[in-house]
Amino acid sequence: MSRTTSSSFWIVVAVVLYHHVAPATALTRSFAQYQNFFPAWDGQLKEMLRDKDQCHESFQNYNNRSMTLPQVGYQVIGCIFENMPEYRKAELSAAAVIPGLAPSVLQLLSASYVDAVLLAFRRPGLALLLAMSNSGYLATAAAVANNAHLAYQLSVLAVCTFAPANDFLPAIWTAASVAIHLVGYAVVRLRIKVDTGDEMQVVGLRMSWSDRILNEVTPTFVGTALQAFYATIILSSLVFLSVRDSTIVVLRLMASTLAVRAILIYELTGFRTDMEGFGLSEKSEYTAVESLNVNN
């Protein structure tokens, strides 16, 4: 087949597809919310959405995929608030305080990213899981799964009042910890040296002058603070959580954070024991990194 014939063939195919394939409607909002809620109010809210005298019409409009305007979500929230008893609204206000304070508490309980990236030199796989859950591989994987499940629940079972059309905002907070630790790992690598006995050899990235200037002006220290600030905005804006549900969410986050910190302390203690107390480990795969010293 000649090149001209081949081009003509593909042009005909494109024309046929253009006329016979229906255009897809862009998803400008989420359709996954309001289907289920956190356990305490799940039955009450579902009954309210099914009741034709209350919020059935607004809920049907939300499920109509031809209605892609974000305002549809606000209509459902407004209808639920109109039919919700006043004492439930007061509980909503109290429940919003608990997850709103959670990021600051988790910042105090969690280990520093410097310790996490130091562990990455010895056990990078475990360090990555720790970053994902900073929220034994089995305990760390359980903490990661716990945080991932919480991110899903907060995204789908609750609604963010200032952006009800988006169901991914809490998940961004969870994923941001991985990005922050990866950046921290790259930064700390630039400060790590290996004691080879004769001289100190830099094992980090070789930096050009442009890299050095960029490293000086990049405010990497504000990454965790920005993550906590973002989480405070998102978590304090979530609705349809009772005080009990909010407390359970925060306790699960704290459990993951404390488990991760305990594992990290255990690993770094063994690391320092090998370096200072009993010499290098006999495991050959660790001998290179166990000689790492932080250039203060």
In this prediction, residue 195 has a pLDDT band, given cuts at 50, 70 and 90, of low
pLDDT at 192: 59
Is there a single domain that holds both residue 107 and residue 226? yes
User: Among 54, 84, 114, which residue terminates a domain?
Assistant: 84
Q: Is residue 277 part of a domain?
A: yes
| 64 and 73 Cβ atoms separated by less than 8 Å | no
Is there a single domain that holds both residue 48 and residue 107? no
Give the distance between the most distant pair of CA atoms in the chain.
83
pLDDT at 205: 47
Residue 226 CA: distances (Å) to CA of 1, 34, 114? 59, 29, 17
In this prediction, residue 262 has a pLDDT band, given cuts at 50, 70 and 90, of confident
For residues 65-88, average pLDDT: 89
Is there a single domain that holds both residue 122 and residue 260? yes
Is there a single domain that holds both residue 215 and residue 75? no
Q: Alpha helix (H) ranges present in 110-198? A: 113-122, 124-133, 137-156, 169-189
Hey, what's the torsion of the CAs at 249, 152, 227, 268, to 10 degrees?
Answer: 70
- What's the pTM value of the predicted model, to 2 decimals? 0.63
In this prediction, residue 25 has a pLDDT band, given cuts at 50, 70 and 90, of very low
Is there a single domain that holds both residue 203 and residue 282? yes
Phi/psi for 202 (5° steps) reads: -75, 125
Percent of the chain with pLDDT over 70: 61
pLDDT at 257: 84
pLDDT in tens, 199-234: 444 444 455 666 656 555 555 556 677 778 888 888
Number of domains comprising the chain: 2
Domain that holds residue 65: 31-84
For residues 113-120, average pLDDT: 69
Is there a single domain that holds both residue 46 and residue 111? no
- Higher-confidence position of 266 and 53: 53
Q: Is residue 105 part of a domain?
A: yes
Is there a single domain that holds both residue 53 and residue 140? no
Is there a single domain that holds both residue 66 and residue 142? no
pLDDT at 82: 92
Is there a single domain that holds both residue 39 and residue 122? no
Is there a single domain that holds both residue 51 and residue 154? no
pLDDT in tens, 101-115: 888 888 788 776 667
Does the structure show a pLDDT above 80 at 10? Answer: no
- Higher-confidence position of 132 and 152: 152
Q: Is residue 5 part of a domain?
A: no
Query: CA-CA distance, 262 to 110, in Å (whole number)?
Result: 10
Q: Is residue 91 part of a domain?
A: no
Query: CA-CA distance, 140 to 262, in Å (whole number)?
Result: 10
Nearest to 72 by CA among 30, 103, 117, 9: 30
Which residues share a beta bridge with 160? Answer: 238
Is there a single domain that holds both residue 69 and residue 126? no
Query: CA-CA distance, 142 to 261, in Å (whole number)?
Result: 14
pLDDT at 3: 47
Candidate from 205-209, 258-262, 288-292 with smallest mean pLDDT? 288-292
